[in-house]
């Protein structure tokens, strides 16, 4: 745990990436697996994670992210897109995956299936979209923590035009929405923010024990 806390103190929201440094395929696979193993409500994972490497595409996305250079200079761009069409069919697919993975008859999971379908069907459309978007932040957290363990820099970003991202990436046709993004790579030695002291609330100010 001491190493974990040390790495959390090491990490920061990198402002300037070294465009010449790329993440190895092994490290990228580790980050992907960390995201895949993220917690989510019911385990449904109602989102897709798009990893953009293409320079031309990232240049377009940079324009939709107010010109922030992290978009193009980082080794990789992760886009967490929440599912806008979560429905009973999504639950059925998940139930089948549980059945196959755990060797449990699908019929034995009927109660769990009905409960999830009931929750999803009773959510207004906007509330459902908010709920699926919240799940992407859990996956984002796993990405940030895993990157810190590997001494890879990662910057979570909400400063982008989601509608333009959706248009550029064709998300509208896929029933997806760009919820949150993260740029991943290695800090530039000239990024002065890496030397800033971390500012957080004190234990007394942050925590309430009842």
Percent of the chain at pLDDT exceeding 70: 100
> 150-181: per-residue pLDDT in tens?
999 999 999 999 999 999 999 999 999 999 99
| Domain locations along the chain | 2-206
> 95-125: per-residue pLDDT in tens?
999 999 999 999 999 999 999 999 999 999 9
Q: Which contacts of 192-200 are long-range, i.e. CB under 8 A and separated by 24 or more positions?
A: 193/12, 193/13, 193/14, 193/15, 193/16, 194/12, 194/14, 196/12, 198/9, 198/12
Confidence at 90, pLDDT banded by 50, 70, 90: very high
> 64-82: per-residue pLDDT in tens?
999 999 999 999 999 999 9
The CATH number that domain 2-206 falls under is 3.40.109.10
68-69-74-79 Cα dihedral, nearest 10 degrees: 20
* Distance, CA of 103 to CA of 116 (rounded, Å): 20
> Residue 149 has what pLDDT?
98
Q: Which two tokens stand for residue 91?
A: 């639950």
> Residue 185 has what pLDDT?
98
Looking at the predicted structure, is the pLDDT value of residue 1 above 80?
no
> Residue 122 has what pLDDT?
96
Q: Is the Cα dihedral 185, 181, 68, 193 positive or negative?
A: negative
Q: How far apart are the first and last CA of the chain?
A: 25
> Residue 141 has what pLDDT?
98
> Residue 76 has what pLDDT?
98
- On whether the CB atoms of residues 185 and 74 are closer than 8 A, the answer is yes
CB atoms within 10 A of CB 143: 22
* Distance, CA of 194 to CA of 210 (rounded, Å): 37
- Mean pLDDT, residues 133-151 taken together: 98
- Determine the 3-state secondary structure of 89 from DSSP: helix
- Mean pLDDT, residues 187-201 taken together: 96
Q: Which residues touch 116 (CB under 8 Å, ≥6 apart)? A: 42, 44, 91, 94
> Residue 162 has what pLDDT?
98
3-state helix, strand, coil in the chain (%, to 5): 55, 15, 30
Looking at the predicted structure, is the pLDDT value of residue 2 above 90?
no
CB atoms within 10 A of CB 62: 18
Q: Which two tokens stand for residue 24?
A: 């190895």
- On whether the CB atoms of residues 181 and 79 are closer than 8 A, the answer is yes
């Amino acid at each position: 745990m001491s190493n974990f806390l040390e790495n959390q103190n090491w990490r920061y929201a990198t402002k300037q990436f070294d465009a010449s440094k790329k993440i190895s395929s092994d490290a990228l696979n580790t980050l992907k697996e960390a995201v895949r193993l993220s917690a989510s409500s019911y385990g449904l994972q109602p989102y897709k994670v798009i990893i953009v490497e293409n320079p031309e595409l990232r240049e377009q996305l940079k324009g939709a992210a107010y010109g922030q250079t992290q978009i193009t200079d980082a080794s990789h761009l992760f886009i967490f897109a929440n599912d806008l069409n979560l429905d009973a069919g999504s639950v059925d697919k998940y139930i089948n995956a549980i059945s196959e993975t755990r060797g449990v008859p699908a019929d034995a999971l009927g109660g769990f299936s009905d409960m999830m379908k009931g929750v999803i069907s009773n959510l207004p459309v906007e509330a459902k979209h908010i709920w699926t978007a919240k799940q992407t932040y859990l996956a984002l957290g796993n990405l940030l923590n895993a990157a810190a363990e590997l001494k890879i820099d990662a910057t979570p970003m909400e400063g982008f035009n989601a509608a333009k991202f959706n248009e550029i990436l064709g998300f509208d046709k896929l029933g997806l929405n760009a919820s949150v993004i993260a740029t991943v790579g290695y800090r530039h030695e000239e990024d002065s923010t890496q030397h800033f002291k971390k500012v957080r609330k004190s234990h007394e100010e942050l925590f309430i024990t009842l």
